[in-house]
Amino acid sequence: MRNKLIVGIITVIALAGGILLFSKNRQTVPQTSPTPSPVSAVTAIKVNVVTLSESGFSPASLTIKAGENVTWENKSGVRATVDSNPHPVHTSYQPLNLGEFSDGQSVNLTFDTPGTYNYHNHFNSNQSGTIIVE
């Protein structure tokens, strides 16, 4: 009887030890985030801005590469236009006839073809400029 008691105690201790050992081995493995992939460099976008003030377009001449965009900002205090030369018929480059825009507004155009493009403010034809596309 005493032997059975000792065997029972040893069995219980062995089972308890096995359970403890098994539970320690089942510790949660910390989850790791996947390694982030390198971020590709963002190509800087060139901003070509022509500002119209009371004194005219600035810069009066702007050289850009084919495919670039030009934005005209009206800071003249009055409504204005961007229209291709010659005044008043605007026939040299139809896409450049951007029309009227109020003070504080802007208009833009992408130039795809190399060339020299002259424009003016139809409401004040003394205000003029040139875009040179390479």
Domain locations along the chain: 48-133
In CATH terms, 48-133 corresponds, of 3.90.1150.10, 2.60.40.420, 3.10.450.630, 1.10.3720.10, to 2.60.40.420
What residue ranges of the chain have pLDDT lower than 70?
Answer: 1-45
Residue 80: beta bridge partners? 101
Which pLDDT score is estimated for 47? 84
Q: Are strands 56-58 and 48-53 parallel, antiparallel or unpaired?
A: antiparallel
pLDDT of residue 29: 46
pLDDT of amino acid 4: 65
